[in-house]
Amino acid sequence: MNIKRFFTRKTVEDESNPLYLTLREEMRISRENNKIIKRFEKAKARKNVPEEEYLTTMKNPDNVVEFEDLHTFFFTDVGTVKAVNGVSFDVPQGKIVGIVGESGCGKSVTSLSLMQLVQEPQGQIVKGSIRYRASNGKTYEITKMPRNRMLQIRGNDIAMIFQEPMTSLNPVFRIGDQMDEVVLLHVEGATEKSAKARSIEMLKLVGIAMPEKIYDQYPHELSGGMRQRVMIAMALSCDPRLIIADEPTTALDVTIQAQILELLREIKDKINGSIMLITHDLGVIAEMADLVVVMYAGRIIEQGTVREIFHHPKHPYTIGLMRSKPSGKTVDNRLYSIKGQVPNPINMPDHCYFLNRCDRVQPECLGEYPPMFWHSPDHCAACYWSKTGELCDDEGEREKESNDE
């Protein structure tokens, strides 16, 4: 008797069309995926790779990072999850780029791809380019960079504030030992004494009272908010050129959030660095970001300056996100929510991924996935309705009035 696994695939005709996998089919998928994984792992395991193989040039010298057609997949026993499926955007020098979208849309996987921290062996960058211009003036192709060479950049030039402070700190080491390790590893000529002084200085910088006491404590002795501030202090210890902040204020109260965001802005200005700010909070994006990237189901569906996105959104999903935030204006005393669910990431449709949730569907939407339609040098959206430039005039004005208030 065949063992069957069930999961749902949403289609235009039937939103609950079932797809069954027999055990034999599951085993076949697993074998095929293992072959693909071994090929990628073999390429990564090479040693003594000449630097010329992963050196490149930036298309725009004013950028710190350039993502181009990035594809990061997870090869599972029931199919291939296309977590990041053709993402392209730039992070300019000295700017804050905000990345927003629902949970599971690919925001964190995009940043982990840049750090070479995608969970292996299932997770692999299968296609595309990530170009990074380091502080030494060289430009590296991250997707081809050896693991040992990446260790010299990760944590030093590029630092990441992880989303889960509860699990990101090692529970068996004291806070001070974990912070000192970053300085000793990346700062040339650092000693145990200078590393401790730097760690305590950073703990003070993020607003932790009695930093000398916190330095000697274990993670379990701190609250969630305190651990989050320790993670931020650790990330900023080496004055990184690029800071990836993945929900950096999740565990913090409102007043501390404001302090941390102001601290990130000051650090950025001090070192003329850049920030990739990943968050669900549109208020944080409006306050902090210069450029905004809106992601949905592994793709970028709209991007532009913060003013263009907030005042003249061109994609129904972007409008839905803005209408979902509490603003004091409700219909029948209920908060707005976007109807429906994200398509199954293993069986993505050929048409627009937002089709089943959109209230502006037209016949053209049933065709191939929409390309990016440009409305200004910085503003574009992947929506057939938006190509006329008139998609969201009424909604945009409503959001503008709401934001102004």
Instruction: Indicate whether 180 belongs to any domain.
Output: no
Give the residue from 123, 363, 114, 337 showing the smallest Cα distance to 243. 114
Q: What is the pLDDT of residue 332?
A: 63
Alpha-carbon gap, residue 291 to 20, rounded angstroms: 42
What is the 8-class DSSP label of residue 370?
A: P
Instruction: Indicate whether 389 belongs to any domain.
Output: yes
Instruction: Indicate whether 85 belongs to any domain.
Output: yes
Alpha-carbon gap, residue 352 to 361, rounded angstroms: 10
Instruction: Indicate whether 55 belongs to any domain.
Output: yes
Q: What is the pLDDT of residue 151?
A: 86
Give the residue from 330, 230, 293, 311 showing the smallest Cα distance to 92. 293
Q: What is the pLDDT of residue 392?
A: 52
Instruction: Indicate whether 201 belongs to any domain.
Output: no
Partners of residue 246 on adjacent β-strands: 278
**CATH assignment of the domain containing 312:** 3.40.50
Q: What domain range includes position 392?
A: 1-154+302-405
Nearest 5°: phi and psi at 276? Answer: -100, 110
Give the residue from 205, 347, 345, 214 showing the smallest Cα distance to 262. 205
- Positive or negative torsion for Cα 181, 184, 185, 186: positive
Domains held by the chain: number: 1
Q: Contact, 228 vs 252, CB < 8 A?
A: yes
Instruction: Indicate whether 190 belongs to any domain.
Output: no
Q: What is the pLDDT of residue 341?
A: 86
Average pLDDT across each block of 10 residues of the chain; the chain has 405 residues. List them in order: 36 44 86 92 86 93 95 92 95 95 91 93 94 92 90 89 82 94 90 94 89 94 86 88 87 76 83 88 89 96 95 92 72 76 86 90 89 93 80 45 44
Q: What is the pLDDT of residue 389?
A: 57
Instruction: Indicate whether 237 belongs to any domain.
Output: no
Instruction: Indicate whether 245 belongs to any domain.
Output: no
Q: What is the pLDDT of residue 403?
A: 45
